[in-house]
Amino acid sequence: MLPVIALVGRPNVGKSTLFNRLTKSRDALVADMPGVTRDRKYGEGKTGDRAYIVIDTGGITGDEQGIDFEMARQSLQAIEEADAVFFIVDGRSGLIPADEMIADHLRRSGKTAYLVVNKTDGTDPDVAMSDFHTLGLGEPIPIAAAHNRGVRSLIDTSLADF
Ligand code: GDP
Ligand code: MG
In this structure, are residues 162 and 3 in contact, taking their beta carbons and an 8 Å threshold? Answer: yes
Q: What is the mean pLDDT of the chain?
A: 86
**109-151: pLDDT as tens digits:** 999 999 999 999 988 878 888 889 999 999 999 999 999 999 9
What is the whole-number distance in angstroms between the Cα of residue 17 and the centre of ligand 1? 6
Residue list for the binding site: 9-16, 56-60, 118-121
Instruction: Tell me how far the alpha carbon of residue 91 lies from the centroid of ligand 2, in angstroms.
Output: 17
For residue 65, the 8-state DSSP code is -
What atom of ligand 1 comes closest to residue 12's alpha carbon? 2
Residue ranges and CATH numbers for the domains of the chain are 4-160 (3.40.50.300)
Ligand 2: distance of its center to the CA of 90 in Å? Answer: 13
The per-residue pLDDT for 71 is 67
pLDDT band at 19 (very low <50, low <70, confident <90, very high): very high
Q: Of the bound ligands, which one is closest to the alpha carbon of residue 22?
A: 1
Q: Label each residue of 88-108 as H, E or C.
A: EEECCCCCCHHHHHHHHHHHH
Chain CA centroid to CA 1, Å: 21
